[in-house]
C-alpha cells in the first residue's frame, strides 16, 4: 500500500494557528453635535427563532433558543417538542407521559417511569438493506499519518518521518483484526491547543481531520473488501473498529472534565469517551456517504445514521428529523447493533445535533471597556475585541459592530464597524474601538455584534450606564 506522509501539514498547521491576524485600532474624533441614527421601518425575516432589529444601518437577526411562538416543524408528533436552537426551529424529543399503552403512539408502550417507550421504536421482519448511496465528493488535505500494515498481523515498523506507531485491534464476526498507523512526532501539541468551545458537529466535519478520516476509511474498506464483505457488513466492520477503541475518561487523560477530541486526536490517543467515539463514527459514516446526525441524551452522545427502520429484522430505535429516519447507534462498548439503544437512554429526552457541510461558526471572546467623562460627554474605549472561527468553513466578510445604544434600543448614540475580511477555520481577528461617546447624563450600554455573509451573528451587550 502507498505510504501517506504529512510532516509538512503538521508544521504548516502549527504556523497557521500561532500566526493569527494583525489587530486594528480605530480612533474617532469628538463631536458636540448629537444626532441619533434611525433604523429601517422593518427588519422582519419571518423567522420565529430570531429577534430582528437594525444596527449600523443594516438588519440584524438575533438567534433565539428554546420553545418560541411560531416555531413549527412539519414532521413533529407527540414524541417531539418544537424548539429553537441557534436561530433554527428543530425537534427536541420529549417522550410523552402516559398511564397505559393507549396513551402512546402506535407501536409504543408505557414504561415504568410513566413515559412512552423510546421514540418511534418499530419492529419488522424485513431484510437489512445491502446498498448505500455513493460517497459525496470531498476535498481533503494530505494525511497526518501513514499506514504500514493491514490485516491480522503487524510486522512492519514505522519509518523515520512518522516514528510513532499506534496499533489498533478489534473483533468482527468472530475474527481478530489489527491495523497500524504511524504518526509524526511533531504537531500533537498544536492539536491540543485548538479551541474546545465549539459545537460537536464542528468536530465531525473538521477540515484538518479530513485526511486522517479519509485514510482510515480507505484502510478499513480495503480490509473489508479483502474479506468479501457486503456494503452493510463494511459499515458494521467500521463500527466494530470504533467500538473496540478503549474507553478513556477526559478527566483522567487530559485533566479536564469535558475535552471533546477531533477525529485525528481520538485515533492518535487510541481511545476516548462517548462524544469522541461518536464524533469519529459520524465522520467515518459521512465519508462513506451516509446521512448522520449526533444524538444527545442527558450526559451522553451517540450517532444517528439515516436508515429505513422497516427493513431491519429486529426492533430498532430511530428518530425522525427533517422528515428522515435516523437509527440510534451506540459507539461506546462492543457488539451494539445499529438501532439498539442502552436501557439507560431508552425513553429519555434526546436532542438532535445536525451536521452541516462546510460552514463557519464565529466565537467572540470576552472584551474590556473603560469610561471617562466630562461635563458634556462620556467617552468609551472597547478593547480586546477578538473573534475566532470555530466552524468548518471560511467566514466571509466578517464585521464587528460596536455601538453605544440608547434606551430606545433601535437607536444609538455612537457606533463604529471594524472590517475583519475573511477568516479561515481556526483563524482569528483582534481589534479595538476607542472614543465612542454619549452625552453626559444620558443612559447607554455597549453593544457588540459580529456578523458577515455566511454565518449566524453573535451579539453581546453590557449593562446600562448613566454618567452625570
Specify the pLDDT at position 220: 95
The edge-to-edge listing of strands for the beta sheet with 302-306 is 80-85, 88-93, 350-354, 292-296, 302-306, 324-329, 318-321
The predicted-structure confidence for 259-306, as pLDDT tens digits, reads as follows 899 999 999 998 889 999 999 999 999 999 999 999 999 999 999 999
Specify the pLDDT at position 66: 76
Specify the pLDDT at position 21: 40
Q: Are 204 and 291 in contact (CB under 8 A)?
A: no
Q: What is the DSSP letter of 357?
A: S
Q: Grid coordinates standing for 253? A: 487523560
| Distance from C-alpha of 263 to C-alpha of 260, rounded to nearest angstrom | 10
CA distance from start to end of the chain:
76
Q: Are 269 and 209 in contact (CB under 8 A)?
A: no
| Distance from C-alpha of 330 to C-alpha of 395, rounded to nearest angstrom | 33
Domains of the chain and any CATH numbers: 22-36+360-466 (2.60.40.10), 145-354 (3.10.620)
SS3 266: helix
Beta-carbon count within 10 A of 41 CB: 7
Specify the pLDDT at position 140: 25
Nearest in space to 303 (alpha carbons), one of 291, 314, 287: 291
Query: Which residue positions in the chain have pLDDT lower than 70?
Result: 1-41, 55-57, 70-82, 85-97, 101-157, 250-257
Specify the pLDDT at position 379: 93
Specify the pLDDT at position 163: 85
Specify the pLDDT at position 60: 77
Specify the pLDDT at position 62: 77
The predicted-structure confidence for 39-72, as pLDDT tens digits, reads as follows 666 787 777 777 777 766 677 777 777 777 766 5
Specify the pLDDT at position 79: 45
Amino acid at each position: 500500500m502507498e505510504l501517506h506522509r504529512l510532516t509538512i501539514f503538521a508544521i504548516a498547521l502549527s504556523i497557521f494557528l500561532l500566526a493569527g491576524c494583525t489587530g486594528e485600532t480605530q480612533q474617532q474624533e469628538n463631536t458636540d453635535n448629537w444626532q441619533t441614527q434611525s433604523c429601517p421601518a422593518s427588519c422582519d425575516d419571518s423567522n420565529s427563532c430570531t429577534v430582528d432589529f437594525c444596527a449600523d444601518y443594516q438588519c440584524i437577526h438575533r438567534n433565539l433558543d428554546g420553545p418560541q411562538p411560531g416555531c413549527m416543524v412539519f414532521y413533529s408528533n407527540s414524541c417531539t417538542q418544537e424548539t429553537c436552537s441557534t436561530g433554527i426551529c428543530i425537534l427536541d424529543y420529549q417522550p410523552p407521559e402516559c398511564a397505559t399503552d393507549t396513551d402512546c403512539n402506535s407501536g409504543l408502550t408505557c414504561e415504568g417511569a410513566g413515559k412512552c417507550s423510546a421514540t418511534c421504536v418499530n419492529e419488522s421482519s424485513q431484510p437489512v438493506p445491502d446498498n448505500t448511496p455513493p460517497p459525496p465528493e470531498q476535498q481533503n488535505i494530505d494525511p497526518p499519518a501513514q499506514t504500514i500494515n493491514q490485516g491480522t498481523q503487524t510486522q512492519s515498523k514505522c519509518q523515520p518521518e512518522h516514528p510513532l506507531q499506534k496499533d489498533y485491534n478489534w473483533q468482527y464476526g468472530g475474527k481478530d483484526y489489527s491495523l497500524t498507523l504511524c504518526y509524526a512526532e511533531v504537531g500533537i501539541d498544536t492539536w491540543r491547543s485548538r479551541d474546545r468551545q465549539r459545537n460537536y458537529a464542528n468536530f465531525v466535519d473538521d477540515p484538518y481531520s479530513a485526511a486522517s478520516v479519509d485514510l482510515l476509511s480507505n484502510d478499513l474498506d480495503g480490509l473489508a473488501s479483502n474479506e468479501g464483505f457486503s456494503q452493510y457488513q463494511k459499515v458494521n466492520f467500521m463500527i466494530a473498529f470504533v467500538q473496540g477503541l478503549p474507553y478513556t475518561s477526559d478527566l483522567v487523560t487530559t485533566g479536564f472534565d469535558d475535552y471533546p477530541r477531533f477525529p485525528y486526536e481520538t485515533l492518535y490517543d487510541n481511545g476516548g469517551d462517548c462524544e469522541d467515539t461518536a464524533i469519529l463514527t459520524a465522520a467515518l459514516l459521512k465519508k462513506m456517504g451516509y446521512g448522520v446526525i449526533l444524538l444527545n441524551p442527558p450526559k451522553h452522545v451517540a450517532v444517528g445514521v439515516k436508515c429505513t427502520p422497516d427493513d431491519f429484522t429486529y426492533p430498532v430505535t430511530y428518530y425522525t428529523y427533517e422528515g428522515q429516519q435516523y437509527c440510534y447507534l451506540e459507539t461506546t462498548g462492543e457488539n451494539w447493533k445499529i438501532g439498539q439503544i442502552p436501557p439507560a437512554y431508552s425513553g429519555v429526552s434526546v436532542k438532535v445535533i445536525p451536521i452541516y457541510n462546510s460552514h463557519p461558526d464565529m466565537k467572540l471572546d470576552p472584551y474590556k471597556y473603560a469610561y471617562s467623562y466630562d461635563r458634556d460627554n462620556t467617552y468609551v474605549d472597547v478593547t480586546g475585541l477578538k473573534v475566532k472561527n470555530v466552524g468548518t468553513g471560511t467566514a466571509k466578510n466578517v464585521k464587528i459592530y460596536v455601538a453605544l445604544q440608547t434606551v430606545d434600543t433601535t437607536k444609538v448614540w455612537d457606533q463604529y464597524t471594524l472590517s475583519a475580511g475573511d477568516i479561515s477555520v481556526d483563524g482569528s481577528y483582534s481589534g479595538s474601538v476607542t472614543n465612542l461617546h454619549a452625552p453626559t447624563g444620558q443612559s447607554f450600554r455597549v453593544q457588540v455584534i459580529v456578523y458577515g455573509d455566511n454565518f449566524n451573528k453573535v451579539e453581546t451587550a453590557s449593562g446600562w450606564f448613566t454618567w452625570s
